[in-house]
Chain A
Amino acid sequence: MAVAVHDAPTQTHADVTRDVVATLAPATKGYYLLLFGAVGLFLIGAITLLLIVKEGLGLAGYQPPVFWSVFITTFVFWVGIGHAGTLISAILYLFRSPWRTAVYRATEAMTVFAVMTAALFPIIHIGRQWIFYWLLPYPNQRYLWPNFKSPLMWDVFAIGTYFTVSTSFLIFGLIPDVAAVRDKATGWRKTVYSLLSLNWQGTDNQWRHYSRAYLYLAALAAPLVLSVHSVVSWDFASSLIPGWHGTIFAPYFVAGAIYSGVGMVFTLLIPLRKYLKLEHMITDYHFDNMAKLTLFTGTILFYAYGMEYFVAWYSGNTFEQTTFFRRAFGPGWWAGWSMIIPNAFLSQLLWFRKIRTNLTSLFVISIFINIGMWFERYVIIQSLANDYVPYAWDQMNPTWADWGILAGSFGWFGMWFLLFAKNFPVVAIQEIKEFIPMPRKRAGGHH
């Protein structure tokens, strides 16, 4: 089998700086069109939220037995998206994986914005959004503390930590790159980048502390990839609802999170690298490797889906069996198959190298991954409609307000990502340079 070659050494350090700084050139009309589109979607969400605040959560299909359907579905969807970014930026850093370098900055930014989007949903859901801080343990006149034995409380800490750490990691990695941009910029942009670069000069002493600190931050962020979505899965798994109460949930959710996250990376990076003319930096080699990661996590999902059905049958529990029967053949069958076909079966196409290195096919598959993973969470939440009391059974009934908030979340995420891509280096200048040997006076070389 042919091995893809990392193409970096054909470029010099000056080329890297020039090409990445060139991505920050004034934007084209197409970019503004996309940005206005994203802001427009965000406004739809914002107006929907205002109406929800005015009229109440009933506007969004909150009725027994399902009290939050599309909102929690979308919450889990966005938290999951973030995981691929941290996997690529932290875990692959610790493994010294060379293909991470060109793509990690963009994926890390995706993580931060995805978690920012996800964090809005619990706040929207609580109904009285202005007292969201009641979630935090602080001394108050009610002499109450939050319930630390609840997975929802664990989630507050897990998401809070995840957001803080991934944001810090992103900003920390950006400092030397912002300094490189500053040294090329002119006028008011120079002033702004100077402030943002925190006086970074790349001295031996700065690098000495920086490199060490980066290693420790990566080591601290790495377990978050596994822990955050495990905690999210326990929101479900620690309750007794059929279809939820399974020990498989944590690894199943983590694999799904990485799968959906890499899917979103494809959706974002394939057009982005073309628009920013970074084809020589983000190459087939990178997409091929990410596609293998998708294949791996997609196969875990395939197994998990199969195992869920097996355990439902093997448990001998009628309710468990009914839940899984209804997923495939009940009134919500369309959602069930929208999850199984793209996630379990479509991912298997990635066994073929031709498909992994064809960007059009990858892009199309990635769209299906996004849809499939959203439906996976939708299907899981649907279990809530069919618990142990058949009299209380019903279906999820999303309304226009649910879809308005969903659209708004895509707008909010897209807006941040677009703003980031045009104002900060989406490829890590300093780390690409690490892989390009500097010129030597003597022939031969050091290594």
Chain B
Amino acid sequence: MAKATPGVLASFEHIDAACDTIRALREKGHRKLTVYYSHPNHELEEACGHATSPVRLFTLIGGLTGTTAAFAMQIWMNRDWPLLVGGKPIVAIPAFVVIGFELTVLIGSLATLFGTFLLSVGMRNKGVIYDGRFSDDRIGVFVPAGGAEAAGVEKMLREAGAVEVKHAAA
């Protein structure tokens, strides 16, 4: 178990309240927020203000690797074991397109999965507290803050409309 990060965890019922709070906290300089929500939500995504996920690079590189690998494999293997089939040339590119396409999809997908796990599971915020209701109908906002700062953050979160506030000590 990773060491707990000290901070304040607020739980919201209203999406507009949560979005406003996230924006206000970010303006105040709280950049390392963790926001929990149960479903893909554009409003919250905008409020968190992240750049586009780099996972697309994994997809692109994986897909291109698949195409290249498929054609390279088929060309090399056909030359290594030259077998005349159906009057086609030994290296018959049109016949290789199907496997070229399949491996593009296969390796592209596997690379996308790998990229997602690396970025979101491997690099998740360890030691940040969580609540089971965030996968249900609540929105969670965790603000890392210790000591005197925590009291101020709690006050602000309560005023913003948090229905529940918890503290995490180090």
Contact = CB atoms under 8 A, between A and B. Distances in A.
Interface of A: 12-14, 17, 137, 143-150, 153-154, 157-158, 160-161, 164-165, 168-169, 172, 176, 179-180, 182-184, 198-214, 216-217, 220-221, 223-224, 227, 231, 429-431, 433-434, 437-442, 446
A204 B106 contact: no
A148 B119 contact: no
Interface residues of B, number: 69
A158 B124 contact: no
B105 interface: yes
Q: Identify the interface centre among A12, A149, A431: most chain B CB within 10 Å of its CB.
A: A149
B110 A205 contact: no
B106 A202 contact: no
A164 B38 contact: no
Given A157-B102, A210-B116, A165 B34 contact: no
B112 interface: yes
Interface of chain B, helix or strand or loop or mixed?
A: helix
B38 A165 contact: no
A163 to B, nearest CB: 10
A119 to B, nearest CB: 15
Interface string B1-22: 0000000000001111100000
Contacts of A205: 34, 50, 119-120, 123-125
B30 interface: no
A212 B117 CA distance: 13
A138 to B, nearest CB: 11
A206 B16 CA distance: 21
Contact of B99 (A13, A157, A224): A157
A61 to B, nearest CB: 29
B98 interface: yes
Interface string B115-131: 11101110111001010
Contacts of A442: 16
B112 A217 contact: yes
Nearest to A434: B39
B131 to A, nearest CB: 8
Given A205-B50, A231-B98, A213 B14 contact: no
A196 B103 CA distance: 28
Given A145-B77, A205-B50, A231-B98, 12 more contacts: A17-B136, A143-B81, A149-B85, A154-B102, A165-B106, A184-B132, A204-B34, A208-B120, A209-B115, A209-B119, A210-B40, A217-B112
A204 B103 contact: no
Contacts of A223: 101, 105
Interface string B56-75: 10010001000000000110
Contacts of B16: 440-442, 446
B44 interface: yes
17 contacts: A137-B73, A147-B83, A148-B96, A150-B85, A161-B102, A199-B121, A204-B34, A205-B120, A211-B40, A212-B56, A213-B115, A216-B108, A220-B105, A224-B105, A430-B39, A430-B40, A438-B14
B161 interface: yes
A290 to B, nearest CB: 24
Q: Identify the interface centre among A184, A209, A224, A231: most chain B CB within 10 Å of its CB.
A: A209
A211 B48 CA distance: 14
Contacts of A14: 136-137
A392 to B, nearest CB: 22
Given A13-B38, A183-B133, A439-B15, A164 B106 contact: yes
Contacts of A433: 38-39
A137 B56 CA distance: 29
